[in-house]
Structure 1
Amino acid sequence: MKVIAAYLLAVLSGNTCPSTDDLKDILGSVGAEAGDDRIKLLLSQVKGKDISELIAAGREKLASVPAGGGGVAVAAPTSGAGGGGAPAAAAEPKKEEKVEEKEESDDDMGFSLFD
């Protein structure tokens, strides 16, 4: 992602065809490093392509990706309906164990956000 971000920054600054050195300079300015193989891979994949077309194609792909909102449906246990001596499966509620929280230590060296 940081290589892609560096590429986008270079393009947004007006450099339509950034080189490996350009991307390394951008990444180095914030103390980040990236391997030459990743930079070369990215540059080979975007060579000769318009950045706005790449972004539009990416948006179309992201539109088909499910992004939350769906939960797992869990069926509630049901008891048997009728039947004279058929034992019904009794659903016992799970006992929740209370986890005691450790008292806060003085790791903050006596400073507190609310003091």
Structure 2
Amino acid sequence: MKVIAAYLLAVLGGNTNPSLENLKDILESVGAEVDDDRIEFLLAEVKGKDITELIASGREKFASVPSGGGAIAVAAPAGGGGGAAAPAAPEPKKEEKVEEKEESDDDMGFSLFD
């Protein structure tokens, strides 16, 4: 991910075709580990491709991935005689959880503004 971020930073900075050295410089400037193999792999994958097209293609792929949040299946009322419809099931009440803040000993007895 950091290699991709460095590539995007280089492109946003005006370098439309960043090299291995450009990406290494960016990563080293923030103290990140540099893996030449990963950088070379990324550069091989994006060589000759437009960054906006790559991002658009990635968004399309990402949109098709399920993002969790299961839906509740509701059974439709059975058709039939002209009887009254069954009342809808009441929605479960949401419990509000109130978190109590505890004093932290992280400041070791002094404050930045004391």
TM-score by length of 1: 0.63
Give the length in aligned residue pairs: 85
- Of residues 28-37 and 2-11 in structure 1, the stretch that sits farther from structure 2 once superposed is 28-37
Ranges in structure 1 where 5+ consecutive residues have no aligned partner = 74-103
- State the shift of 1:71 in Å: 6.8
Matches for 1:1-115 after TM superposition, within 5 Å:
1-70=1-70, 108-111=107-110
1:61-109 Cα distance to aligned partner (Å, 9 max, x none): 0001111222799xxxxxxxxxxxxxxxxxxxxxxxxxxxxxx895642
Paired residue type of 2:109? G
How far apart, in 2, do the equivalents of 1:15 and 1:58 lie? 21
- Of residues 27-36 and 48-57 in structure 1, the stretch that sits farther from structure 2 once superposed is 27-36
- CA RMSD for the aligned pairs? 2.6
Change (3 A) 1:49 1:111: same
Larger Rg: 1
Change (3 A) 1:106 1:45: closer
Percent identity (aligned) = 79
TM-score by length of 2: 0.64
How far apart, in 2, do the equivalents of 1:71 and 1:108 lie? 44
Change (3 A) 1:68 1:19: same
How far apart, in 2, do the equivalents of 1:107 and 1:16 lie? 46
How far apart, in 2, do the equivalents of 1:19 and 1:33 lie? 17
Task: Say which SS state the counterpart of residue 58 (structure 1) adopts.
Answer: helix
Change (3 A) 1:106 1:54: closer
How far apart, in 2, do the equivalents of 1:105 and 1:11 lie? 43
Instruction: Detail structure 1 runs of 4+ shifted over 4 Å in the superposition.
Output: 104-108
Ranges in structure 2 where 5+ consecutive residues have no aligned partner = 74-102
